[in-house]
Amino acid sequence: MKITFLGSGGGRFSAISQRRMTGGFRIDNLAGKNYHVDPGPGALIRTYQFGFDPRNLSGVFVSHAHTDHYNDAEILIEAMTRGMTKNLGTIIGSESVLEGFERWGPAISSYHQSKPDTMVLKPGESHNFNNIEIKGTATSHGDPTGVGFQIDYNGFKLSYTSDTGYFDELVEYHKGADILIASVLRPGNRTINGHMCSRNFIDLIEEVKPQVAVMTHLGLKMISSNPVTEAKKISKRTGVKTIAAYDGLSFNVNYNNPKRFRLISLKDVQSSVHSTSHSMYESERKNSYQMAFKNNEFDELSILKRQ
């Protein structure tokens, strides 16, 4: 099994500004199948950018009806079903995502739900499919039906909190996790309603005692205060190997000894056709400057001259 972060940013401002990518993460080769978890804005593009193919997905998981988690779900579903021509794959999601709940969702149209199987995941409920068991885990978040998961594959447990504030029962849902992936929006003690900060993550890690903890879905305040340093502090405090996700972070899970793995930084294989290409960015910028000069649209320059 390989876990790859197609983005480590989260929260609306990280997503709007794209200070970090927001494509969610992929779990590849889990009992021979591939899954995309919480495909936020850019998930499709990031898939190709880091050398993956969305057509080999067997499932798309969407934890709740917030844009930074569901934005690219429908296009990935189209990829999974060969452009909605085949009954392939499964959409796993919260009640709000699949059916709609109060003012939340549905985040995936009934058209897009018509070809794959659908599975509403609720906290505490388990389902068997594709040779894994998936259990819904509770959240305390804006979307009241938001759900995380714990996947059990032959006794190996992978937990994902999704967006949630810290609450005592959260520990019970994630107990036994070998790998714990969590949305940790803010650094230090700077908690806000419905989200965890580093302090909350420390509490969760100390109770759950996973082999490895990964923090992702990093908000602007976290990104600005060096997530790597933050993760080191958490590791030291808890004694549990804790990693701050970054865009393109990938690692193969060692089932026998999850603590032993090598982090891989994925190359941006498609950089020549994406805007992250610096030469393209430069030439694009040059063009727009030239265009601006032509049209006398250079406010900043004229203001500078006047001073």
Nearest approach, Cβ of residue 147 and Zn ion (Å): 12
**Please, are residues 39 and 71 in contact by the beta-carbon 8 Å criterion?**
yes
How many CB atoms are located within 10 Å of the residue 48 CB? 15
**Closer CB to Zn ion, residue 4 or residue 161?**
161
**Closer CB to Zn ion, residue 78 or residue 163?**
163
Nearest approach, Cβ of residue 5 and Zn ion (Å): 17
Nearest approach, Cβ of residue 84 and Zn ion (Å): 27
**Closer CB to Zn ion, residue 20 or residue 157?**
20
Q: Please, which of residues 151-170 interact with Zn ion by CB under 5 A?
A: 163
- DSSP helix/strand/coil, 196: strand
**Closer CB to Zn ion, residue 27 or residue 107?**
107
Contacts of 58 (CB under 8 A, 6+ apart): 33, 34, 35, 80, 88, 89, 90, 130
**Closer CB to Zn ion, residue 115 or residue 141?**
141
Task: Give the torsion sign (CA, 109, 112, 118, 122).
Answer: negative
- Residue 38 within binding range of Zn ion, rule CB under 5 A: no
Centroid of chain to Cα 72:
12
Residues in contact with Zn ion, total (CB under 5 A)?
Answer: 2
**Beta strand segments in 50-89, E:** 59-62
Nearest approach, Cβ of residue 157 and Zn ion (Å): 23
String of contacts with Zn ion for each residue 116-155, x by CB under 5 A: ----------------------------------------
Nearest approach, Cβ of residue 163 and Zn ion (Å): 4
Cα distances (Å, whole numbers) of residue 199 to 9, 38, 145, 194, 245 = 19, 24, 25, 14, 17
Nearest approach, Cβ of residue 217 and Zn ion (Å): 8
Selected binder of Zn ion within 20, 26, 33, 66 (CB under 5 A): 66
**Closer CB to Zn ion, residue 66 or residue 157?**
66
Q: Provide the 8-state DSSP code for 145.
A: T
Question: Both tokens of residue 48?
Answer: 């190709």
**Please, are residues 151 and 133 in contact by the beta-carbon 8 Å criterion?**
yes
Which of these segments, 24-32, 64-72, 147-155, 202-210, binds Zn ion (CB under 5 A)? 64-72
Cα distances (Å, whole numbers) of residue 161 to 12, 139, 149, 154, 239 = 18, 7, 7, 21, 20
Nearest approach, Cβ of residue 68 and Zn ion (Å): 6
Pairing of strands 179-186, 156-160: parallel
Q: Provide the 8-state DSSP code for 144.
A: T
Which of these segments, 30-38, 65-73, 125-133, 172-180, binds Zn ion (CB under 5 A)? 65-73
**Please, are residues 67 and 40 in contact by the beta-carbon 8 Å criterion?**
yes
Chain residues that interact with Zn ion, rule: CB under 5 A: 66, 163
